[in-house]
Structure 1
Amino acid sequence: MNHVVGNPATGTIFGGGGNEWFGPAVWKSTDLGASWTHSSKGLAYEGGAEPIKAVWTVAAKNGSLYAGVQPAGLFRSDDRGETWQHVEGLQKHPSRPQWTPGGAGLILHSLVLHPNDENQMWIGISAAGVFHTSDSGRTWEPRNKGTRADFLPEGENYPEFGQCVHNLVMAAGRPDRLYQQNHCGMYRSDDGGKNWQSIEKGLPSSFGFPVAAHASDPDTAFMIPLNGDTAGRYVPDAKAAVWRTRDAGKTWQGLREGLPQQNAYFGVLRQAMATDRLEPVGVYFGTSSGTVFASADEGDSFESIAEHLPVITSVETMVVER
């Protein structure tokens, strides 16, 4: 299972996953996880295309459910995940033959839906970059200006597409403000991804995966940088910290209270960090060594709430009224 999301209005939970042996699917629970069904009907490319290996992300809005898959593509369901239709416009983008896989493969891992405009959506693909649609997926535009690709030859580090975006989220109340962690830096955009500016100054590394937005303050975001792509991919100096900005990335504060400060040789994957909508906002993350940490005070202090789990690929929150 790669990614799980919940709908607090209905109590329904959706999970995307699968593998090359069993194929892709989206699982659904309508009783808060007590029982599950799953469907892969329609989760396939046309004949002759490379088979879909897994679903990497899911997102729901206004009765529609979207799934990002590997190899990178987008599917939509209008019947709560029972059947799926290929959003073909993305695969038809002129740059598609030049997309190259990241370390985990050619995956569509980030789906950001506009809260007020059903036609707009942003996606993140490793390693093709960020793309945007304003017509429900019929056409797409690369939105990577200002993000680096350090792994390309010198002088070609800022291409139109081909960046290895790691995660993409939207700021609260400002649909045009986006934050991303990238293989090569941390960034903010204030114009819907048309232009990006680096916000990595003050952070211990320019490499990381998860980013989470505050539920109500567009200037507050949380990141967990790792020590680099070839140095082990664990928290810098093996001392765990969540890094918080209160000014949209101008400055950062390392939050360490309650987190291990020695021998923390773990990483945090792209979907394994989340915030909730409580007051104050809660912050949660899961590690590659199977521990879940939680903060009830916007990151000022943390505690372990689960241990000895397998590698944690996804952490999400859902406030359920009982």
Structure 2
Amino acid sequence: MSSSTRSDRAWVATRKGLFELQRKGADWRIARLNFLGDPVSMLLPPQADGRMLAALNLGHFGAKVHASDDAGASWQEVATPAFPPQPEGAEGVPWKLVQIWALEAERGTVWAGTLPGALFRSSDFGRSWSLVESLWARPERHQWFGGGYDVPGIHSICPHPQRDGELLVAISCGGVWVTRDDGASWSLQASGMRAPYMPPEGADDQNIQDPHRVVRCPAAPDVLWCQHHGGIWRSGDNAASWQEVTTAPLSSFGFAVAVHPTDPQRAWFAPGQADERRLPVDAALAVNRTRDGGAGFETFRAGLPQQHCYDLVYRHGLAVADDGEHLLMGSTTGGLWASADGGEHWAEVSLTLPPIYAVRFG
């Protein structure tokens, strides 16, 4: 897929299928629907050769993975990540796949983050998977716990585009972990994050942080943004340290964050009320954008519902295209909105989709 078309196609993973969108001018339309009626928990958009993956969560029938070789025109079931047999007496969560929560690809390797908090890799585009045992075997894993789910999960996978073998993963609730040797070893790198939901003596514990979502700027990969359960954090030194951003209006709570592909100072957030509410502030949907690394923010509402709005935007429900101007945002109640000017104005695409789990551009 050429770079000139990457802002013209997008995919929306929902509770009842995978919707492919195409854009003409300012208007988006649904071009194709796959897996009608099935929950699609995550997708990997088409690679340069047209191959893509979709992860399904079929309840009683378990999690499944499907692959397409033609950018979503046809699909075939492939292998599903699977844990080895659980040793007798092993502590912690059961060694059983609950859901695939993240899919990313880099240099021929596909990575899958799961509930419970495990990382799998595939070198043959989903035909086989192997557990990254070095992370799963970390003794710190036994202190991880669920954040919204009953078990911890890996939801953010950030390969370093300029360094072979370097990968960052974020875990709810288990902090941020980095490997620089292709998964042979891992280091915990959540220094500076703080968990206000913990007792004061444990709030700075890196291993229990709940980063709701972490994204990396492709053009400046040492810059990372994090929407945390307790606020917004930014790192300018490749996760060696994190600094809290305290200037966000409305609320610093939320789940989603997107970063501009070439400008590491620019990022978008979907603010919400915290634990006791889980809805937009004052029941009015808004998007916060910073253009100066968090020193200041702008709040945009044009085109978004401003009364009786109870939509939550999940971790993967906000995406920015490679041009840095087109954005899509999907909600838990099936609302989907598009922006063509960096988030300043939004247009309704649909209000009747199934609940939206993830939005990704081609």
Assess same fold via TM > 0.5: yes
Distance 2:200 2:86 in 1: 39
Q: 1:202 Cα shift?
A: 2.9
Task: After superposition, give the CA deviation of every residue in 1:77-102 in whole Å (9 maximum; x if it has no partner).
Answer: 11111110111110111211111111
Q: 1:268 Cα shift?
A: 0.2
Distance 1:208 1:300 in 2: 19
Q: 1:11 Cα shift?
A: 2.2
Corresponding residue for 1:147? Answer: 193
**1:74 has 2:119 as partner:** yes
Q: 1:230 Cα shift?
A: 1.4
Distance 2:194 2:172 in 1: 13
Corresponding residue for 2:172? Answer: 126
Task: Report if aligned partners of 1:17, 1:56 keep a CA contact under 8 Å in 2.
Answer: no
The count of corresponding residues between Structure 1 and Structure 2 is 316
Q: CA RMSD in A?
A: 1.5
**1:40 has 2:84 as partner:** no
Task: Report if aligned partners of 1:19, 1:54 keep a CA contact under 8 Å in 2.
Answer: no
Q: 1:42 Cα shift?
A: 4.9
Structure 1 segments, 4+ long, off by >6 Å, are none
Q: 1:187 Cα shift?
A: 0.5
- Indicate the percent of aligned positions where both proteins have the same amino acid: 34
Task: Report if aligned partners of 2:104, 2:111 keep a CA contact under 8 Å in 1.
Answer: yes
Q: 1:69 Cα shift?
A: 0.9
Distance 1:218 1:180 in 2: 13
1:256 to 289, 301, 323: 301
Task: Report if aligned partners of 1:207, 1:228 keep a CA contact under 8 Å in 2.
Answer: yes
1:298 to 328, 335, 342: 342
Corresponding residue for 1:245? Answer: 290
Q: 1:19 Cα shift?
A: 4.9
Task: After superposition, give the CA deviation of every residue in 1:25-51 in whole Å (9 maximum; x if it has no partner).
Answer: 322222332322222355223344521
Distance 1:221 1:8 in 2: 24
Task: Report if aligned partners of 2:220, 2:263 keep a CA contact under 8 Å in 1.
Answer: no
Task: After superposition, give the CA deviation of every residue in 1:112-141 in whole Å (9 maximum; x if it has no partner).
Answer: 010011211110111111111111112111
2:98 to 47, 50, 53: 53
Task: Report if aligned partners of 1:132, 1:140 keep a CA contact under 8 Å in 2.
Answer: yes
5+ residue gaps, structure 2, are: 1-39, 88-93
TM-score normalised according to structure 1 size: 0.94
**1:4 has 2:49 as partner:** no
TM-score normalised according to structure 2 size: 0.84
Cα 1:76–1:281 shift into 2, 3 Å: same
Distance 2:47 2:325 in 1: 16
Distance 2:213 2:56 in 1: 17
Distance 1:69 1:218 in 2: 28
Task: Report if aligned partners of 2:161, 2:218 keep a CA contact under 8 Å in 1.
Answer: no
Distance 1:28 1:300 in 2: 36
Task: After superposition, give the CA deviation of every residue in 1:255-280 in whole Å (9 maximum; x if it has no partner).
Answer: 111111111111000011101013x6
**What SS is found at the alignment partner of 1:150?**
coil
Aligned runs of 1:192-211 on 2, under 5 Å?
Answer: 192-211=238-257
**What SS is found at the alignment partner of 2:133?**
coil
Q: 1:17 Cα shift?
A: 3.4
**What SS is found at the alignment partner of 2:136?**
coil
> Which letter maps to 2:72?
G
Task: Report if aligned partners of 2:81, 2:97 keep a CA contact under 8 Å in 1.
Answer: no
Aligned runs of 1:1-322 on 2, under 5 Å?
Answer: 1-19=40-58, 21-48=60-87, 50-104=95-149, 105-231=151-277, 233-278=278-323, 281-318=325-362
Distance 1:166 1:202 in 2: 16
Q: 1:20 Cα shift?
A: 5.0
Cα 1:41–1:261 shift into 2, 3 Å: closer
Cα 1:39–1:200 shift into 2, 3 Å: farther
